[in-house]
Structure 1
Amino acid sequence: ASYAEALELVQQGFAIRMSDGRSAPSLVAAGSLELVDGPVASLDDLWTFTMPEVPFTLETVLEELREHIQSQASDIGCIAGDEAASAFLGFPFDWRDDSESPEARERIDLACFNMTRIVTAAWHSAFRPTPASPAIAGEDVDELEQILCASLVRFGRRHGSPLDRDGSALQRTILSAYYRWQIADGCFLPEDALPDSGRPDHSVTEAIGALTGMPATAVRNTLSRDGLSLVRSKLDRNALIDWIVTRRNFAPLRESETSEGRWAWFVAGDLHFTPGDDGFAKVRQRVHSATPDLQAKEAAIVARRAAGEMPTHAELRRYAEALQVSPDSLIEALHSYWQPA
């Protein structure tokens, strides 16, 4: 049944079981739903009604960031002296007396630190607290990598940082945003990983725990039960991503973060940068899982292009479905930079 047919049955009072094709079916009854009658522009808009709760507030994350900065100042003071630590913070700081001082911590002006902007962007990217929360920008990912390399490699701090505490709001925010970006970029858990922390399966177990909110033990046990390996050289990354995105506390991927969304932009790029029949041939060569009716759906796009017209949304949607890429993303991409012939 289509979603429209399923919705009609539920509205009539019937209870039905539905599945996304990957997870076990769930019972859907009228009493368990809040039916909202309102148009949506894209699939992303639908998720705003079913998004999991944000695990912690931005204020909690920033308070832990303040602790981390105080810890950094303490190390700077011990190594380079109080003058260097004071210059770092912007106010007088004695690393012997102020390293754990609540008063000194409150004086830290987070607006003076670029890490505040990065952490805020990471929180919005990882947990999607509002419909307008964007995915983290590519240039900010470089800084996340620096934080991971410099701060998450365990060493003996004189005064502990939340970044060293497993499951802290600050640590989970940074890890979740980074590994979520890896999923979106198509490079999830590469074999040339960041330096290991010295703990078993750090890059796999901790990444999944950050993304799903599951304890490390639960990650290992559940993946083992489901037949998925945690050994980096044996990872089935596609199966692992499918497993992650079906976890209850994982904020659904944005359209732009899904493989279908990425491939839609590749297709649009082929049509834009390779004019005429060669562009369509390049698309067919790129996509290996197209449906048998691709040629018929493509013909409508070819005809529109030959006539100097932009295909209708319905035609583009059918073409995208035949290519098995995101219709919303393909429409957005073509309207953003594909010019009719």
Structure 2
Amino acid sequence: MSRNEELQDRILEFLQAMAAPALRKFRVVGDINVMADPPPLPFRGEMTQLEDLHLDGVQLSWPHCRFQKLKSLTLIREIEISFPALLAFLSSCPSIVNLTLDLSIVDRGNETQVVTMPALERFAFNVSIRSIRFIWNHIYLPKLHSLALDPVGSEYRPALKVLTSPHPAMPTSPLPSWSLTSLGLWPNTEVSGFTGALFHELPNVRVLFLCPNGPIASSTSINDLSMHSKSTYPPSANHDGPALVLPRLTTLILAEGQCSYEAVICVSWDLLQETVIRRRDAGVPLKKLFVEYENEWADEPPEEAAWLLENLDAVGMIPKTWKLQTMNMEYTEDWCAIEAEPAGTWAFERLCERLGFTLFKPNGGQPAATSDDCTEEY
């Protein structure tokens, strides 16, 4: 037994002996794989008041726990889990509002059960393409409005299918994509036509996060924002002229699918300007734009962004420290907050500051004032 294993066992034994009847939040990060019988569950599995559970690289017999009030569940880097065990776990937590799954399914079993998660609103989903449709068809999410989807693989048709088809458990229900107000996607250069097809069926998305894996995927997905809509969704009564895709989109967050501190290469300022103009002329204007951090922007934005600064309500940059290839529920919450808060307000600037976003202003491109600068005024 290694020293790490000894330490792991000691920690689990310590937690197992403890009682935490009022524990609200529990986060475990590490490479822990213990399948003893009986399992050494922290707090003997009695976590009836727990609201937030985050497991990163941890495999224990969590289905033996009691989670009566769990609202946020994160399972990432799970070593292995069978699909029946996952469904049993989810069905025991009907109050979950936020769900993050970044895992591998090792045993699909012969499950025919469909688990309804009546309270779930935000879902961050990163699984293999071969598993995505299978998992999706076994969980029904009637209140879903925020989705981060990063399929693993080069064939995205299963992902497109689940979003643009009624759920098998409710064949007369609207398309899942129609209910989304927030969406995060990781477009892939090797996958053609994905955003071009999906964007037609996103009539209510207000904030879009794109993390393409290269310049081609970036240009394609941005260009697709100017397409005329072919959706069967009922058109808006107050919209004149040819409707564009994503008619309610106000906020675009553009990052790179490269986790490095190298210069950002996916930003085409000319294409962004063309997109802003086309959407404005069509009566569906973009209002806020954030792009991924580049070191030389720390003091002022690039000259190419000057037009955008004058024609959008907010332009800024997001930090590289987001670790964009690791799924995290905080992403979707941050996107929605950025979209909802009116630009130009003290509250919006404080929100950007808290998230590590940098705001630029038209007057010389200087970043937004810090909280210290605003003390006397407010």
With the length of structure 2 as denominator, give the TM-score of the two structures: 0.26
Report which of the two has the higher share of strand. Answer: 2
With the length of structure 1 as denominator, give the TM-score of the two structures: 0.28
Report which of the two has the higher share of helix. Answer: 1
Which is higher, the Rg of structure 1 or of structure 2?
Answer: 1
